[in-house]
Every structure is written in structure tokens, then in C-alpha cells.
């Protein structure tokens, strides 16, 4: 498994090497030693979650205020256009976003550090996204920015079919920035 830096400070891609043969494939989706060498504490993760979405569905952009959470994100089945927005005011890449293809072919694992927003759009008929999260969910800390916020200008590759009521009503990037920088 190799670790690759991205354009966002602290956001990493862990890239396994799937072994393919006549039976199909086998791949390692997580490795403690690789994570530790990359500065990720493998013992810190306390929750695993999974979502299944249909083509065109957008989930996000979600984050946590307060202590926040870091997570490892991977796709077990299908493909997603995965987006991370740096919402850490003291980060050198604050306000920037980057998109990643996560799928069941390359099996990349995306490390999303505390303080970032995260979302994805399903590119295949269905996609199963797996999350390994390092803190218990505290609903009072949830923050969300609208997936079509004009200040962020995120490009979604296929027509958006469904979003949750919560995501449709999410606030603006400008409002979140004001909240984060007024502390």
C-alpha cells in the first residue's frame, strides 16, 4: 500500500495494490503500519459506517464543528466522485477543494482530516461507501454547506438526482467561514 499526498494539506490517498487472477481479486483495504507511517493513528477509529446510494445522488457537504472527526473513506462497490473541502481556518489550503475518484477497481482509501467537509456523488448504478471514523457522532456538532454553493464552485460530473432535505437546506460556505473565523 502506498500513500500519496494531495493538493489539500493533510488529505492523503492510501493506494493498495489489488492482486488479480482468474478468480477475481484480493486487496488489502487498510494497513496499520502504513497508516501509522503516514501519521494516522490506526487505533483511533471507533466507528465504521456504510452508505448505499443510487446514480446521481449527492451526499454532503458534511463536517463537524468542535472537536471534529477524521475519517477514512473507501468504496466497496461502484464508483463515486468524492469531494473534500478544507474548512480549517489555519490551514494553508483553507477554502480549497479537491475531487477524487473512489471505486471498486482501484480501492483507494481517502484520509479526510478533522476540520474538512466531505461529500460524494454516485457515478454507477449503485455505490457502497465505507467510512472508518475516529470519534463518536455528536449531532450538535454537525455542519453542512450546500453542495452547489457558488463560492466553492464544485463541479458534479453527472446530473444530480436526489439529495436529502438536510443537504438541500444546507447553509453557505460564506456563512460557515464567518462562523469559523469569528472565534
Active site residues: 62, 131
Considering only CA atoms, which of 54, 21, 16, 49 is closest in space to residue 133?
49
Contact between 31 and 132 (Cβ < 8 Å): no
Contact between 17 and 1 (Cβ < 8 Å): yes
**Inter-CA distances, 162 with 13, 87, 167, Å:** 28, 25, 10
In angstroms, the CA 94 to CA 99 distance is 15
Amino acid at each position: 500500500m502506498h500513500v500519496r499526498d494531495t493538493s489539500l494539506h493533510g488529505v492523503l490517498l492510501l493506494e493498495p495494490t489489488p492482486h488479480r487472477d482468474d478468480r477475481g481479486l484480493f486487496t488489502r483495504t487498510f494497513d496499520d503500519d502504513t497508516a501509522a507511517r503516514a501519521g494516522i493513528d490506526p487505533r483511533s477509529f471507533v466507528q465504521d459506517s456504510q452508505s448505499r446510494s443510487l446514480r446521481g445522488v449527492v451526499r454532503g457537504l458534511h463536517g463537524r464543528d468542535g472537536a471534529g472527526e477524521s475519517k477514512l473513506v473507501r468504496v466497496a462497490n461502484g464508483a463515486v466522485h468524492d469531494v473534500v473541502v478544507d474548512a480549517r481556518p489555519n490551514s494553508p489550503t483553507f477554502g480549497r477543494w479537491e475531487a477524487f475518484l473512489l471505486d471498486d477497481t482501484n480501492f483507494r482509501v481517502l484520509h479526510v482530516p478533522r476540520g474538512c467537509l466531505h461529500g460524494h456523488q454516485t457515478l454507477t448504478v449503485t455505490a457502497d461507501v465505507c467510512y472508518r471514523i475516529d470519534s463518536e457522532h455528536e449531532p450538535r456538532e454537525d455542519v453542512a454547506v450546500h453542495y452547489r454553493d457558488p463560492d466553492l464552485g464544485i463541479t458534479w460530473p453527472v446530473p444530480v438526482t436526489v439529495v436529502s432535505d438536510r443537504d438541500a437546506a444546507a447553509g453557505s460556505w460564506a456563512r460557515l467561514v464567518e462562523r469559523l473565523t469569528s472565534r
